[in-house]
Amino acid sequence: MTSYKHLVLAALSLALSASPCLAATDTAEHKLGNGMRVIVKPDRRAPVAVMMLLYQVGSVDEVNGVTGVAHVLEHMMFKGTAATPAGEYSRAIAVAGGRDNAFTSNDYTGYFAVLQKSQLELALRLEADRMTNLTFSPEEFAKEIKVVMEERRLRTDDRPRSQVYEQLMATALTAHPYRRPIIGWMNDLENMRVDDARNFYRSWYTPNNATLIVVGDVEPEGVTALAEKYFGAIPSRELPERKPQDEPPQLGAKRVTVRAPAELPYVLMAFRTPALRDPERDWEPYALEMLAAVLDGSEAARLSRTLVREERIASSADASYDSIARGPGFFYLGAIPTPGRSAADVEQALRREMAKIVEEGVSEEELDRIKAQAVAAHVFQRDSMFFQARQIASLESVGISHRTLDLQLAKLREVTPEQVQEVARNYFRDDALTIATLDPQPLEGARRAKPSLPVRHAQ
Amino acid sequence: MLLAAGPALAILPIQHWQAASGARVYFVENHDLQMLDVSVEFPAGSGYDRRAKSGVASMTQRLLTSGAEGMSEEDVARQLADIGAQLGGRFDADRAGLSVRTLSGEAERRRAIDILARSLRAPSFPVEVLNREKVRLVGSLKEADTKPDTIVSRTFYRLAYREHPYALRSSGEVESVGGITREDLLAFHRSHYGARYAVVALIGDVTRAQAEEIAEELTRGLPEAGGQEPELPPVDPLAQAATRTVPHHAAQAHILIGAPGVSRADSDYIALYVGNHVLGGGGFVSRITEEVRQKRGLAYSASSYFYPLQRKGPFVISMQTRSDQAGEALKVARATLATFVKDGPTAEELEAAKRNIVGGFPLRIDSNRKIHEYLALIGFYRLPLDYLEDFVRRVERVSAAEIRDAFRRHVAPARMVTVVVAGDSPKQVDAR
């Protein structure tokens, strides 16, 4: 067992370190012979290491009939290799004092472990093992696919507002795979086979499609050497061709209604926008970020002030824009009406706020406030090693270097009121818009939808 | 004990003093990042609500930042946003308060502390804002009442805590919220936000002298509540098991099993914490997850926890499963609990749990935010300054027999509250 005194000394380094020389240390980047990338960001505030292994593959790479397979594979990655039986991965990390988990997004799949720094090697060894040696036991798959279906019931089927989002995306896009839910359609999960997961694994889990990110109290050379030791011998493989699947032009506003048991309605609007591609030359994504913050960057922002506090039309209202995506970007506006007001009322109020910006623009003062928040947030974010690893992962997964983070902040600070007005004018248009509305139904007599087929389990 | 408990050897060099106002102050100086986290908390959580006016405690906390001393609600929001500060708050069964995270530069820091201080000492509780928030709250309570996770939890707390204020819904009931008046809030603020009960926790880029000044400013002028600190009544143990099934349309059944468990001050807490790590708190490697999820694929999430409070907080097993499997999941969870209470952990399980908790200790204090949480906790529950290192030391020493005995004292499988919110097969659900 780890000695207690040792830990005391180790932990002291965070609590006692008073040296001001701990300012942002530069990251180190390295590429192994097989194409795997290694990014290390030293952060010596605590004797801890965050390890994240990122595969550049997500639900966007699935095909119809096997939606959800990227996420099912993520679950199967904990179900054993020849050397590490099912469940042993998590057991080994836990005994080393660590915690682990994984996540799947549209664009990428990430596996992480957070440990005291001396245990980093263990995490790398296990991660390398399951990059090539996954077992795919049919028995484990049969149980795990049931777990995933429970996850879908918990996160989507029994949550009306999640269903609104799912339907919104399925409606907003015709061709691009972002239209499919990451967790997959229930019927595809019911009909998934262990071979579907295995094929996906063989196609995409290669070192040349992976990036190792380590943030913590580590030496970059040491981490690179460990990566070389455990991953260096894994051969690269050619990846399947990725088709662009560009979304055809939208021809007019789209609308979808979700009827589900609930008390309050909900309106969610999505406008198709660009995403960030070139951090140096793009300007619209930065202006869109400022636009989202003008509307909903803080309690002082427009939507809370006007819709919630002054007019009391909405119980809550929000705006967001995610600039980081391989596919199309979206600008979202959502609102829940106060009791007695309707979905139409809040939709109208949101549209009016948008029109105000299109016609009258935004003030310098509003932008200054947002810039002050962005600068502060840039400092606050460094309090969490895990957040820093996630941030690197999300940028790198779409091919944007994490080294542009400072540049992105600088670009944000250059945005002018005119640019904000211009992106509002360019993208707050009906032929970029999809609206999904929750039409609440009484609970009494509500029957849940029957599964479309009897549930079958693989094998 | 080989290690002295003196502050010089503490893992966290916590500085502690009392402000002139009587408030207790807890501070860790750390200049790595140019930022400061500060909180002020009071014994003013929902446990201090009266049944007929349930929701007063929550509404008081919610409206603290709705204006004070000439500042309007909009002024508070705008001025904090202008300096990039992030306002936070805490509200649970015991504690209520505010926190702020700000850049530590003099201008930002002074502005943030000034707004926080004025909001805490002289909130104006405007009637207009109160009326608006009552409408919003009732709407969200009604919305929550359609959801199986809310229904299962409300039912559980009602059955487990009966007449005790921990049974009350923390934000108030749909029926009681309407009756809350501005006078209720002023009175609750006067009696529960007293300087002498205040706990100030700070971590970040300020000196001791600056921290002292901040603590004075934040607590000077708080209500001078006289007499005894408000107390919560003790929790009576359950005399017998209670089982409820609530019909619901959802695809999944939501299940809670539990009872009042342990208080913060209880010397059994460490043994229960380590034991529960083996039973259902240790994530993928704990018994309940193993039995319910890994072996049978019955649930995405299945776990157990102790939630220690001023008085006995709950022990809870929680899971969700497709409605028609509720009976099976319930049977598995109950059997797992009964076996654990009877036999305790195995030697291997105990060793693995200790290694995780002790080896993972640096992860608990690897950010200012996490350390700040501990400062507030240690301060509020009057835990010793070396609580964290003592915690590790006691975890290392606890034996399987001590865990088994502690579970037998605090968890009675035959006297549990069981609540199942489910659409299908109530007969199966009642199966033991």
User: Which sequence spans correspond to the domains of chain B?
Assistant: 10-219, 242-430
* Shared fold status for B10-219 and B242-430: yes
- Least Cα distance to B252 among A170, A147, A72 occurs for A147
So what's the pLDDT on residue B12? 85
**Same domain, yes or no, for A206 and A267?**
no
At residue A49, the 3 state secondary structure works out as strand
Query: pLDDT means per 10 residues in chain B (432 residues)?
Result: 34 93 97 97 97 97 96 96 96 98 98 98 97 96 96 98 96 96 97 95 98 98 80 95 95 97 96 98 93 95 97 98 95 97 97 96 95 98 94 96 98 97 57 34
**Same domain, yes or no, for A270 and A330?**
yes
**DSSP result, B302-315:** EEEEE--BSS-EEE
* Domains identified in chain A, total number: 2
**Same domain, yes or no, for A73 and A219?**
yes
* A301/B360 Cβ within 8 A: no
> A199, A231, A263 — which closes off a domain?
A231
In this prediction, does ipTM exceed 0.90? yes
Distance to chain A for B225, nearest Cα, Å: 32
A418 burial class (0-12, 13-18, 19+ CB within 10 angstroms)? exposed
The residue written with tokens 């119980």 in the block is A315
Chain B within 8 Å of A249 (Cβ-Cβ)? no
Chain B within 8 Å of A344 (Cβ-Cβ)? no
**Same domain, yes or no, for A343 and A401?**
yes
**Same domain, yes or no, for A289 and A182?**
no
Chain B within 8 Å of A258 (Cβ-Cβ)? no
So what's the pLDDT on residue B423? 75
* β pairing state of B86-91 and B15-18: unpaired
- A249 inside domain: no
Strand locations in B82-160 (E): 86-91, 96-103
Domain limits for position A205: 24-231
**Residues from chain B contacting residue A298 (CB–CB below 8 Å):** 77, 80-81
HSE, CB side, 13 Å, CA atoms: give it for residue B425: 13
- A7 inside domain: no
* B294/A86 Cβ within 8 A: yes
**Residues from chain A contacting residue B148 (CB–CB below 8 Å):** 158
**Residues from chain A contacting residue B32 (CB–CB below 8 Å):** 17, 22, 45
**Residues from chain B contacting residue A111 (CB–CB below 8 Å):** none
The CA-atom distances, in angstroms, between B346 and each of A86, A271, B282, B331 are 21, 57, 15, 22
So what's the pLDDT on residue A306? 97
What is the residue type of B431? A
- Least Cα distance to A219 among A14, A40, A402, A20 occurs for A40
**Residues from chain A contacting residue B108 (CB–CB below 8 Å):** 376
Minimum Cα–Cα distance from B79: chain A residue: A300
Q: Check whether A428 has a pLDDT greater than 70.
A: yes
- A11 inside domain: no
Minimum Cα–Cα distance from B297: chain A residue: A143
Q: Residue A447 is nearest to which of B33, B82, B249, comparing CB atoms? A: B249
Where are the alpha helices (H) located in A25-115, listed in sequence order? 69-76, 88-95
d(CA A312, CA A341): 9
- Residue of B3, B133, B363, B371 to mutate, interface with A, max A Cβ within 10 Å: B363
Q: Count chain A–chain B contacts defined by CB atoms under 8 A.
A: 244
**Residues from chain A contacting residue B3 (CB–CB below 8 Å):** 5, 8
Confidence band of A452 (pLDDT split at 50, 70, 90): very low
* Six token digits for residue A188: 């595809």
The pTM assigned to this predicted structure is: 0.93
So what's the pLDDT on residue A445? 64
**Same domain, yes or no, for A274 and A313?**
yes
* B352/A262 Cβ within 8 A: no
Distance of CA A376 to the CA centre of its chain: 22
Minimum Cα–Cα distance from A6: chain B residue: B359
* B363/A115 Cβ within 8 A: yes
HSE, CB side, 13 Å, CA atoms: give it for residue B73: 20
Q: Residue B13 is nearest to which of A15, A158, A339, comparing CB atoms? A: A15
Q: Residue A158 is nearest to which of B136, B148, B359, comparing CB atoms? A: B148
Across the beta sheet with A314-322, the strand order is A254-261, A433-441, A266-273, A329-337, A314-322
Distance to chain A for B343, nearest Cα, Å: 22
CATH of the domain at A88: 3.30.830.10
> In CATH, what number does B10-219 get?
3.30.830.10
Report, in this order, helix, strand and coil percent for chain B, each rounded to 5: 50, 20, 30
**Same domain, yes or no, for A205 and A85?**
yes
The per-residue pLDDT for range A298-344, each reduced to its tens digit, is 999 999 999 999 999 999 999 999 899 999 999 999 999 999 999 99
At residue A326, the 3 state secondary structure works out as coil
- A245 inside domain: no
Chain B within 8 Å of A299 (Cβ-Cβ)? yes
- Residue of B249, B295, B396 to mutate, interface with A, max A Cβ within 10 Å: B249
d(CA A337, CA B366): 41
The per-residue pLDDT for range A278-304, each reduced to its tens digit, is 999 999 999 999 999 999 999 999 999
Where are the alpha helices (H) located in B195-325, listed in sequence order? 208-219, 269-276, 287-288
Distance to chain B for A37, nearest Cα, Å: 26
* B87/A8 Cβ within 8 A: no
Q: Across residues A401-428, what is the average pLDDT?
A: 96
Q: Residue B366 is nearest to which of A14, A144, A369, comparing CB atoms? A: A14
- Least Cα distance to B254 among B424, B3, B382 occurs for B424
Q: Residue A380 is nearest to which of B101, B293, B396, comparing CB atoms? A: B101
**Same domain, yes or no, for A274 and A207?**
no
Chain B within 8 Å of A9 (Cβ-Cβ)? no
Confidence band of A177 (pLDDT split at 50, 70, 90): very high
* B320/A339 Cβ within 8 A: no
**Same domain, yes or no, for A48 and A115?**
yes
Tell me the residues of chain A between 51 and 110 that have a Cβ less than 8 Å away from chain B. 78, 86-87, 90-91, 94-99
**Catalytic residues of A, which ones?**
74
Q: Across residues A2-20, what is the average pLDDT?
A: 39
**Same domain, yes or no, for A215 and A344?**
no
Q: Residue A87 is nearest to which of B82, B294, B361, comparing CB atoms? A: B294
- Residue of B2, B300, B348, B364 to mutate, interface with A, max A Cβ within 10 Å: B300
The CATH number of domain B242-430 is 3.30.830.10: yes
Other C-beta atoms lying within 10 Å of the C-beta of residue A18: 11
- A216 inside domain: yes
Distance of CA A237 to the CA centre of its chain: 26
DSSP class of residue B290 equals I
**Same domain, yes or no, for A285 and A175?**
no
* A300/B108 Cβ within 8 A: no
**Same domain, yes or no, for A267 and A211?**
no
d(CA A242, CA A304): 42
* Six token digits for residue A97: 């004092």
For the four alpha carbons of A198, A200, A205 and A210, in that order, the dihedral sign comes to negative
* A97/B359 Cβ within 8 A: yes
